Amino acid sequence: MTALPPAGPAAAPAGPEASPATEAAVRLLTGLIAHGVRDVVLSPGSRSQALALAAVALARSGSVRVHVRIDERVAGFTALGIGRESGAPAVVVCTSGTAAAGYLPAAMEAFHAGMPLILLTADRPPELRGVGANQATIQPGMYRPWARLSVDAPVPGGTDPAVFADLAAEAVSAAVGVTGEGLAGVAGPVHLNLPAREPLSGRLPDPLRAAPGPVPRPTSAEPLPVARGPRTLVVAGADAGPDAERIARTGGWPLVAEIVSGSRFGDHVVPAYRERLRDPALAGRIERVMVFGHPTLSREVAALLRRTDIEIIAVRCGGERLNLSGAAVDARVIEVEADRAARTDDEAAWLAAWTRAEAPHADVDPDGALDRAALVRAVWAATGSDDRLLFGSSRIVRVADQVLAGKDVRVHANRGLAGIDGTIATGIGIALAARAGGETADGVPEGAGVGVARVLLGDLSLLHDVGSFLLPADEPSPRIQVVVGNDGGGTIFDGLEVAGTAAAGDLDRAFYTPQSVALGPLAAAYGWTFVRADTPAGLERALAASAAGPHLIEVPLAR
């Protein structure tokens, strides 16, 4: 990839004085910026040149941040990570054809996880569709099952350019959940398909600036009032955040908080929750469950949410309602009725039965061998309130869910569909957004409050997204540590049903997929700092080292 020129004044090249495609691109992008968009992720291509050139010019004036990624899947998940961390939709821009298909995994994840994302796909004009034109396919509506808004825009030049500013406002409102029938208050992906005729670009205003505005916020939904009386368990899955802990504390109820929930802190957290849910004397007394986020990490919670003998209230997180029992109440906001000031003896006993302390875990031997439990404890201990932690979908996150104690940490995970797509790219997006959140208005790093983004994942998740290691040299370097537990293959399958039905050779070939990639040279090829940590003490040093740039930390593990 050819690097972009350094930021600074740039003369427009010789070419058409005006282009309807360029005018539409300027109206659309400045409109998006006016409604809170701060980040654009570009994948180079000819058909999208007007959008790309307008975005770069806007970045040069400080109106927006631009990130260039040559792989559209990487671009999509980078934008998803930015939206995860910031709450504002990032925009992805690509050319026509298969490039647009590369966004599909990120669009699906954004829908199921309830994350804002705006997809801009350049396209051929209507007369070049369906006639065998080069790099043309069926793009209008291609994300329709998952998109909160799907628009095949008019061709520039044949309509008032102001329509593109209006389209920008509509796109942001839909992406953050201000508008959307049946899904008000829930964020999601938006698709604008943008056909254009030649000339595909022309002269831009110099300088090109936009006035940044705030992100529109949905009107607060009417809360669903819930009484304190029934024996209640609060369950927090991925993306639940602090609301689950607040409701549990307000109601005086025990809190089952997955490690990816961002809710595993406070005095109401249930330790060893799987064992408690398997205890019929305890679980059999549950009368009501309140669910926040998307629980995915244990069969015990899934079984609980399928029960039809208890009341289940699920606070909507993503594009699909959570209703495993077929009778769950779909809510937007829950409010605990303050009908009694003091907690009754029965309520206190109910909480105590779930939250009684477990025997403490033995300390890790700093000179001993690293296993998965030691790995996740070390990363958890190194991560503070200014840091960010993204768990990949692997065996490691399940170990973390089983052994880690409560701690108020900003946690992320792509558990909307529990896939391994784009894990590193998502982490880089989170790191970029976190860094931007700690900068002054003119882009100078504040220093304080800008922590490290860590990605903890397995080796196959890393190799699935290795293209994310490619970062342009002229963009700010993310403060990120990618920590990979390398056991040489997909050992998550060792604990699934297939391990009991498949022959050992078939399990290895079709599922375990053994690999022996040398990660050190791989990191060096992309310019990442590499550390191999094979002892607890070595891992602790690696995690504490400066993360001024991207780091890959390999931790070898036994199968």
pLDDT of 104 above 70: yes
Q: What is the pTM of this model?
A: 0.93
∠ CA 386-389-394, rounded to 5°: 175
Closest-CA residue to 381 (of 537, 532, 275, 485): 537
Region class of 274: left (phi > 0), else alpha (psi between -120 and 50), else beta: alpha
3-state secondary structure of 189: strand
- Quote the mean pLDDT of the chain: 91
137's tokens: 């396919």
Confidence of residue 501 (pLDDT cuts 50, 70, 90): confident
Q: Does domain 372-556 have CATH number 3.90.1150.10?
A: no
Share of the chain residues as helix, strand and coil, in percent rounded to the nearest 5: 35, 15, 50
Using CA atoms, how far apart are residues 168 and 166, in angstroms rounded to an integer?
A: 5
pLDDT tens, 348-386? 999 999 999 765 555 555 567 799 999 999 999 999 999
Instruction: Give domain 20-195's CATH architecture.
Output: 3-Layer(aba) Sandwich (3.40)
Rounded (10°) angle between helices 72-86 and 423-437:
40
Q: Which residues contact 295 (CB under 8 A, 6 or more apart)?
A: 235, 236, 237, 238, 258, 301, 302, 305
Identify the pLDDT of residue 41: 98
Q: Does domain 224-355 have CATH number 3.40.47.10?
A: no
For residue 263, give the amino acid letter: S
Q: Residue ranges per domain, the chain?
A: 20-195, 224-355, 372-556
Whether the Cβ atoms of residue 97 and residue 407 lie closer than 8 Å to each other:
no
For residue 241, give the amino acid letter: G
Mean pLDDT of 68-85: 98
pLDDT tens, 297-322? 999 999 999 999 999 999 999 999 99
pLDDT tens, 234-276? 999 999 999 999 999 999 999 999 999 999 999 999 999 999 9
**Least confident segment among 110-114, 127-131, 408-412, 505-509:** 505-509
Mean pLDDT of 127-141: 94
User: Is it true that 20-195 and 224-355 share their CATH fold?
Assistant: yes
Q: Which residues contact 349 (CB under 8 A, 6 or more apart)?
A: none
426's tokens: 């998502």
pLDDT of 72 above 90: yes
C-alpha pair distances (Å), 306 with each of 239, 324, 555: 21, 5, 38
Residue 423: other Cβ atoms inside 10 A: 28
Indicate the Cα dihedral angle 66, 70, 76, 80, nearest 10°.
Answer: -50
For residue 547, give the amino acid letter: A
